[in-house]
Structure 1
Amino acid sequence: MRANPLTIAAAAVFAVGQLATPSARAESFGIDPAHTSAVFSISHLGYSYTYGMFREASGTVEFDKDDPAVCQFQFAINAASLDTMNEKRDEHLRGADFFNVKQFPQITFESSSVEKTTGADGKAIYNVTGTLTMHGESREVTLPMEYLGEGSSPFNDYRVGFLCQTTLKRSDFGMEFMVGPIGDNVGVTVSFEAVRK
């Protein structure tokens, strides 16, 4: 029995379409500022570490846990929102010696690629490579985003959460004031929830 040529053609088109269509589509999320923490630490004289945080952050995430190729991460932090619980020090950090927030009001990150790996504890890690811009300087960095989970919340929405822990050199971003007495390496911890749109 000969196959119908139209049936063969339809099957071929369907197969090509299946190959061209990702197995899943990335979902869009918006970062929840109330459940986002951006914390930094830096050595002072080698005798202690000073800790601070940024209180205002926003961003979007395109996420599919099974297909890192379609994932995207974008963040913006209000540099003037830094807080080390010392008003005099905070004003100095906002000034020209450090963040110079009047000239460079935002710290931004935009991803260019994402790769998925597995951590020692078996948790998924998304290595997010992209452009970090701070103090008017842009550098390519790779941020390890530990996937904490996703699901429905008591707020009648659907959320996904991540933890990022990394180290940056402030001198790479043109902040060289008192490198030595004040550390060059800055520990950065960011944890956030993002709500599905």
Structure 2
Amino acid sequence: MLKKTALATLIAAASALPLAQAQAADYQIDSEGQHAFIQFKISHLGYSYILGSFKQFQGDFSYDPESPDDSSVDVTVDVDSLDTNHAERDKHIQSGDFLNVSEFPQATFKSTSFDVDDEGDEAEMTGDLTIHGVTKPVTFEVDHIGGGEDPWGGYRQGFEASTTLDLADFDIDMSDFPEPMHSVELYIVLEGVRQ
């Protein structure tokens, strides 16, 4: 929204692509086409889960199949686009009790390193994640999904990424809730169109 040697996604598999067809390039994340997703999963009291997503975000990534370690990702998320399919709960999560959207309307991720494994199909992307006004280094486990020409004359690459965040690291106080609710899992799919 990127696994080891990306969301982000964050969010690289050089050997999974025919090198003759692939090129080093910058890609615009296709969030408007609904081909990119930032989703989360958090325990509900240790009995079930709350699943949700952020509907509005934008960004880009750079990917060179011949030098995947040079890949990078830059994503900005509109936190008020949070959706857990329950309007009252969404308002509470966005309130000052948790994400405080009025003061911190955006979350961002900017990658700082990308380490690909020897097989070239998995990677770890580390970068600076800012949520709730707090910036912390975070590492995403990344898998390359695929890449190639699309039916409209463009060229695309796609990745999936995941990580788990301790909410206390971002000054989100969950002390009144059971321990299983103190962390959240992020799952991100980023499909980009070559520019």
Q: TM-score range by the shorter chain?
A: 0.7 to 0.9
Q: What whole-Å deviation, never above 9, does each CA across 1:34-63 have from its counterpart, x for those lacking one?
A: 211111111111111111110011111111
Q: Which consecutive aligned stretches of 4+ in structure 1 deviate over 3 angstroms post-superposition?
A: none
* Contact 1:32–1:192, Cα closer than 8 Å, also in 2: yes
TM-score (norm 1): 0.81
AA aligned opposite 2:25: E
TM-score (norm 2): 0.82
Structure 1 residues 172-181 or 67-76, which shifts more?
172-181
State the match for 2:13 in structure 1.
none
| More relative contact order, 1 or 2 (CA 8 Å, 6+ apart) | 2
> Equivalent residue of 1:35, what SS?
coil
Provide the identity percentage: 36
CA apart distance, 1:113: 1.1
Unaligned runs of 5+ in 1: 1-23
Unaligned runs of 5+ in 2: 1-21
Alignment counterpart, residue 126 of structure 1, candidates 123, 143, 166: 123
* Contact 1:123–1:147, Cα closer than 8 Å, also in 2: no
CA apart distance, 1:71: 1.3
Q: How does 1:1-197 map to 2 (within 5 A)?
A: 26-33=24-31, 34-117=34-117, 124-177=121-174, 178-180=176-178, 183-197=181-195
AA aligned opposite 1:80: D
How far apart in 2 are the matches of 1:67 and 1:131?
22
How far apart in 1 are the matches of 2:86 and 2:23?
46
Number of residues paired by the alignment?
171
Report the RMSD for the aligned CA atoms in angstroms: 1.8
Q: Evaluate the alpha carbon distance shift between residue 157 and residue 67 of structure 1 in structure 2; reply closer, same or farther with a 3 A threshold.
A: same
How far apart in 2 are the matches of 1:139 and 1:151?
34
Higher strand share: 1
